[in-house]
Structure 1
Amino acid sequence: MSSMDQTSVAAAPQEEKVASPGGGIAPSERALRIIVPVVMLVALVGLWEWYTTAYNVPHYILPGPDLVAQSMINDWPVLSQALLVTLKITFAALGIALVGGVLIAILFAQSKWIELALSPYMVILQVTPVVAVAPLILIYAPSTQAALLICAWLVAFFPVFSNTAQGLKSTDHNLLNLFELYGASRWQTLIHLKLPAALPFFLAGLRIAGGLALIAAVVAEFAAGSAGAGSGLAFRILESQYRLNIPRLFAALLLLCGTGVAIYGVTSLLSHLLLRRWHESAIRREN
C-alpha cells in the first residue's frame, strides 16, 4: 500500500467525525436562530423610537414604542378581556373545523358518491368571502357570538378538510395492495394506513387553519360591528380609531400579532413532535 493510500485510510475516520457532529443543529446555529431575529426586532423598535422623537411625530399619528407599552399596561384590563373573547371564538371555531374537516375528509375517502355530491359545496364554502356572507349569517344566527363563530369556522374549515382529504388520497398504492392481500377491511386500512399517511397533510392544514381562524374571528367582528363589554379586539381597534387613541390601537394590534405567532408556534411544535421520528419532512439530514 502506498503512502498516499495509508494517509487516506488514516484520515477517513477523522473526516467522518467532522461530517456528522451529532445529526442535529449545532449550538451556534441554534443561538443564531434566536439572536438574529431578536437583534432585528430591537433595531426596528429603536428606529421607530428614533423616528417619532427626532421628527416630533404626534402620538395620534404614530405613537412611540414607549406610549404603546404604557397603553398596554394601563389598558390591560380592557384589552385582556377583549383578547379572551377573541381567543374563545378562535379556538372554538378551530376545534369545530378540525372535527368537521377530518370527518368529512374521511367520508370523502370512504365513499365516492359522498365526494361527488358534496365537492361542489366545499368549493363554494372556500371561494365565498366571509365578509360577504357575514351579514346574512347575522340575520339567521341565534346570537352575535354564534354568528362570529360560524364565520370563523367557515374560513378555518377548508384548509383542514382539503389537506386531510389530499393526504388520505396520497396513500402509497403498494401499501394499499399489501393490506388488500392480507384481507384487511376498509376501516382497518383507514385506521392503520390511511390516517397515519395523512397525518403530515393534516398538520399542515392545522398550521394554516390556526392563523386563519384568528383572522376570520377579527374580520367577522369587523363585519358584525358588535360592541359592548363582550366585544373582542376588533371592536377595541375600531373604538380606538374613532377616539384617536392610537397607542391603544397599536397595543391591540400587537396582541393580535403575538397571538397569531403563538398559535403558529404551538401548531408547528406539535407537528414537529408528531413527525420528528418517522417523516421525511421533520427528520434532519446528517450530511
Structure 2
Amino acid sequence: MVDTLPTRHTGPASNARRSVPDVPGTAPAAARRSRRHGALPPLVSVLLALTAWYAVSYLVLSEDRRFLLPPPHRVLTHSLLDPLTLGTMLRALAVTAQVALLGLFLAAVLGVAAAVLMSQSRAIERVVYPYAVVLQVVPVLAIVPLIGLWFGYGLPARTIVCVLIAFFPVVSMTLFGLQSVDRDLHDLFTLGRAGRWRRLLSLQLPAALPSVITSLRTAAGLSVTGAVIGDMFFAQGQAGIGTLLDTYRARLQSEDLIAAILLAALLGVAVFSVFTVVQRL
C-alpha cells in the first residue's frame, strides 16, 4: 500500500522559507521604523531647547549679564564635569532621594489605609476626606514654619513635607478605584455570601490596583518636589539638593545652580519613570 500522506520537508529549501528576511511593510520592519520615528521628536525637542538656550545667552543677554543664564557648555564644564562640584551635588541628591522615597512610602501606606477605611464606611469618609482635601488646597509653604516649630528643622520635618504633598493623590485615586468596582461583581460576591473583608481582599483591592499604581506615579513626582522644598527650608542635618540650590542662588553661582536644578529634575523623572514601568507591567 502506497503512503499518500504529504511529507514534511526539512531540508535547506524549507529552512530558507522559514528564514525569509523582513521586507518593508511587514510587521517587524514597521515596528523598527516606528521605534526610530518615536525617538526622533524627543531628540528634536532637546536640540531646539539647547538652541533657544544659546540664543538667549548670546543674543538676548549682554556679556555683563550673561551670568543670569550661562550657556550650556559652561554649565557642563564648570559644574557637571568638575569632580568636586559634581560629587557634592550627588551626595546632596542622595539625601533628597532618601527623604523623597521615605515620604512616598509613608504617604502610600497612610493613603491606602485611609482609602480602605473610607470605602468601608460612609461615616468615616465624611469625616476623613475633607481633611485630605484641606491638605491638598492649603499651600504647603504656608504650613512649613509650623512644621519646623513642631518637629524641628532636620530630616523628620523634610519627610513630613513630602507626606503632606503626596498624601492626597494616593487617597483620592485609591478610593476611586475601590468604589468603582462593577456592581455585577459585587452581586456575585453577595450570592457567594462573602464577608466584608473577603470582598475587600478578593474583589476591591485587585480591581483598584491600577488606580493605586497611577496614584503612586503622581505622588512620586510630588514627593521629590516636597523633598526639595524641605531641603530649602529645613537646613539642619545633611544638606540636600534643595539646600545647595538656596546656597548657589545666594552666591550667584549660576552654573552650579542650573546644574543642581537639572539633577533634581532628573531625580523626579527617574522616580516617575519607575512607576510608569510598574504600571505597564
Where 1:26 maps in the other structure, the secondary structure is helix
Q: Superposition pairs for residues 1-287 of structure 1, below 5 Å? A: 21=27, 26-49=31-54, 51-53=56-58, 57=63, 58-70=65-77, 71-74=79-82, 75-224=85-234, 226=235, 230-273=238-281
CA distance in 2: counterparts of 1:227 and 1:243, whole angstroms: 19
Cα 1:121–1:51, aligned 2, differ >3 Å: closer, same or farther?
Answer: closer
How many Å apart are 1:53 and its aligned residue? 4.4
Higher mean Cα deviation, 235-244 or 40-49?
A: 40-49
Residue deviations 1:208-254 (CA, integer Å, cap 9, x gap): 10111111111233333x167x1111121111111111000000010
Offset of 1:176 from its aligned partner?
0.2
Number of matched pairs = 252
Deviations 1:93-114 (A, max 9, x none): 0000111111111111122232
Q: 1:227, 1:235 within 8 Å by CA — same for their partners in 2?
A: no
State the AA in 2 paired with 1:43. L
> Over residues 139-162 of structure 1, what are the superposed CA-to-partner deviations in whole Å (9 max), with x where a residue is unaligned?
111552111111110010110111
Query: SS where residue 133 of structure 1 aligns?
Result: helix
Q: Which runs of 5+ in 1 are unaligned?
A: 1-18, 274-287
- Is the partner of 2:181 in helix, strand or coil? coil
User: What TM-score, normalized by structure 2, do the two folds share?
Assistant: 0.83
TM-score (normalised: structure 1): 0.81
8 Å CA contact 1:131, 1:223 repeated in 2: no
Cα distance change on mapping 1:167 and 1:48 into 2, 3 Å: same
Over 3 Å counting, the alpha-carbon distance change for 1:168 and 1:245 in structure 2 is same
After superposing the two structures, state which structure 1 stretch, 57-66 or 44-53, moved more.
Answer: 44-53
1:233 counterpart letter in structure 2: I
> Matched residues in 1 for 2:190 and 2:88: separation?
59
Q: CA deviation at 1:138?
A: 0.7
- How much is the aligned-residue C-alpha RMSD, in angstroms? 2.2
Distance 1:149 1:211 in 2: 14
Q: Return the alpha-carbon distance in structure 2 between the equivalents of residues 133 and 81 of structure 1.
A: 28
CA distance in 2, matches of 1:125, 1:48: 37
State the shift of 1:38 in Å: 1.4
Q: 1:116 to 1:43 in 2, by over 3 A?
A: closer
CA distance in 2 between counterparts of 1:21 and 1:183 reads: 49
Is contact 2:57–2:69 with CA below 8 Å preserved after alignment? Answer: yes
